[in-house]
Structure 1
Amino acid sequence: MGLKLAAVTVDCAEPRSLARWWADALGGEIVADYEVYVAVAGAGGVLSFQKVPAPTPGKNRIHVDFGAADRTAEVARLIALGAVEVGTHTFGDLTWTVLADPDGNRFCVSEESSGG
């Protein structure tokens, strides 16, 4: 195949501050900083943040899912960093928690053994 995923990019108002938050959350590092576009490598991939003049109206149509060996502990750590818990859901044997980063972008954390 000719395509390789390079990054998942999030539109935001303040790329540097949001990238710093995600670098802390992922235990990663900022690998590119062009002021209007900042990329963070961590957790096996790259999240990037680009400045846009206005937030996307309505619900995000894409979000990132993460797995953790201890979902409860990881959710508590992310909340301590400034994430907001939106809800916890169960479907069959899969339980996940939906969180929002400081800009309100939603992401999920599930138990790694549940298929993430």
Structure 2
Amino acid sequence: MSKSLITLGAINMDAHDPVALSSFWAALTGGAPDVNGSTAYLAPSGPEGFGMFFQPREGNRPSQQDSHLDLTVPWGSRQSEVERVLALGATFKWDVLEEFDHVQWTTLADPEGNLFCIAEHPPH
């Protein structure tokens, strides 16, 4: 069996205000949005990064989110990153700090209510 050639190209997000939401995520990830009318593309901020595409949402925001991003930071930096992201406009939801030996995380919501986590894994 050969190794897969599939990689993550971009995450697509519907937004009430795609340009504003792309600016939030750009500040979070270190990228710079490329705005084209009512859409915006945020290129990966480095070789380990990921792209994001923001497009207008048609209709109301779904009442339940089926998936979310888990972002990983180096061990010991989760709390400072959470504080930085809160200052950018995210909303704190909850912490999961003692349930698992291999990971701790904080769940947040972006300015439009999309959940995401900032996680850290202890050194082995």
| TM-score range normalised by the length of the shorter chain | 0.7 to 0.9
* Residue matched to 2:100: 92
Aligned-pair CA distance for 1:92:
1.5
1:81 aligns with 2:93: no
Count of aligned pairs between the two proteins:
113
Out of 33, 36, 61, the residue aligned to residue 34 of structure 1 is 36
Distance in 2 of aligned mates of 1:4 and 1:17: 27
Work out the percentage of aligned pairs sharing the same amino acid. 32
Give the number of the structure whose alpha-carbon radius of gyration is greater.
2
Q: RMSD across aligned C-alpha pairs, in angstroms?
A: 1.8
Aligned-pair CA distance for 1:108:
0.3
* Residue matched to 1:103: 112
Out of 6, 16, 22, the residue aligned to residue 19 of structure 1 is 22
Which aligned runs of 4 or more in structure 1 are off by greater than 4 angstroms? none
Q: Is the 8 A contact 1:12 1:55 kept in 2?
A: no
Residues 2-52 of structure 1: per-residue CA shift (max 9 Å, x gap):
64422111111111010011101111111x322232111236111111102
Gaps in structure 1 of 5+ consecutive residues: none
Residue type at the aligned position of 2:17: E
Aligned-pair CA distance for 1:56:
3.1
Distance in 2 of aligned mates of 1:15 and 1:104: 13
In the superposition, the TM-score normalised over structure 2's length comes to 0.81
Gaps in structure 2 of 5+ consecutive residues: none
Distance in 2 of aligned mates of 1:46 and 1:104: 20
Q: Is the 8 A contact 1:15 1:35 kept in 2?
A: no
SS of corresponding position for 1:55: coil
